[in-house]
Amino acid sequence: MVLFDKHVGIVSYKRSKKSITYVIHHANQIYYEEDILKRMDVVGHYRIS
């Protein structure tokens, strides 16, 4: 789980062509899986095991 400023995402097992891990998140009631880790400031991250 990744926390951004006013935004939450779940880390996916998929990676982009540049080996950046995808994050599953939502915007306007639509879900996306994209590589936003480098574009947004991460406030916190947690691992559930």
Q: Structural domain boundaries of the chain?
A: 2-45
Q: State how far the Cα of 48 lies from the Cα of 30, in Å rounded to an integer.
A: 24
In three-state form (DSSP H/G/I as H, E/B as E, the rest C), the secondary structure along the chain is CEEECCEEEEEEEEECCCCCEEEEEEECCEEEEECCCCCCCEEEECCCC
Instruction: Determine the pLDDT at residue 5.
Output: 87
Instruction: Determine the pLDDT at residue 29.
Output: 83
* pTM of the predicted model as reported, rounded to 2 decimal places: 0.75
Q: Which amino acid is at 3?
A: L
Q: What is the pLDDT of residues 9-49, one digit of tens each?
A: 999 999 999 898 999 988 788 888 999 888 889 999 999 88
Instruction: Determine the pLDDT at residue 42.
Output: 92
